[in-house]
Structure 1
Amino acid sequence: MQVLQVQLEIRPDPAEVGRARRWARTRLAGSGIGADEPLAETLILLVSELVTNAVVHTGHPAVLRLSLPLATTGEATVRIEVADASSRAPVPRCVDGDATGGRGLALVDGLADRWGWSREDTGKSIWCELDRCTSSPNAASTACGGGVAAFQGFAYEAV
């Protein structure tokens, strides 16, 4: 299976979040993931959350990387990764209903099939993955990856 790996350098500026979303949308379309697919929006939301965390919480430039499968059949994984120069670990927070922030990692945890982070030589990398599965045109869902239900080509788990 062929995988398209692309990256975008991000400045420590909140305006970069919108630029990262626009850039990711064009890359998704180039890999055969249509912008009108409901879970394409999930991928864009994950990009937005990870880039926002890097921009807001580190104050350092970052690099957004996408690994997108090019095959139209078979199981595949879409990976989103943001590397930054801060060595501070990401910390999921519990916030009350009135808070205007602090839910990013909870969203990533709820939407991605897997996520994590690792230290790198110059900082850290935070990543998440969505499994893309084959489904027949007549089926609303199919099993993928240990019985996780698939919807329109991507795996999801109800939480």
Structure 2
Amino acid sequence: MSQEQPRRPYQERDAGIRYGDVLPVGGDLADRPVAPRDAAMMQSAESTVFGHTAKGGATAVMESADARNEQRRAVGHSRFSDIPRDQGVTVTQTDIPGQPGHRLVTEYVAGQAVSQYVIDKGAGLGGGAGGGYTLVLGNAAMWGDKVTIGEALEATAKIAGGTK
């Protein structure tokens, strides 16, 4: 006779937090639960680009969702969601013309942009003394509003005092 604690049975109705609940995605990806290995892939992509995980980036959102999903037993600790596993995650950064030291960062899950923001290369991403983001556009994108590159450049120019 086993002395293990009885495990709560998997509940079909508790599918956990899905990508569509926390990130601006569509299609089949929106219905997939955020899994721990998905967040680990995004963390790895951010670390490759920045040298560490960006505060407030897609990794932070995904880690919060996957922690809750694990707690609810909606996903296992070593699970991937099939679409991000097969199509991957990407973090890109592009220098903004006319704005020295500013970069547009876009984070993708399975080819869908989930976060976009502008950073100041000189300030860094550490959040320490003088560090942090110049302008965060990811919040708008996180809630479903799309931000075009032109809008990001215009916003950066306004903040930098280039235009009114």
TM-score by length of 2: 0.33
TM-score by length of 1: 0.33
Decide which structure has the larger Cα Rg and report it.
2
Q: Which has the higher strand share?
A: 1
Q: Which has the higher helix share?
A: 2
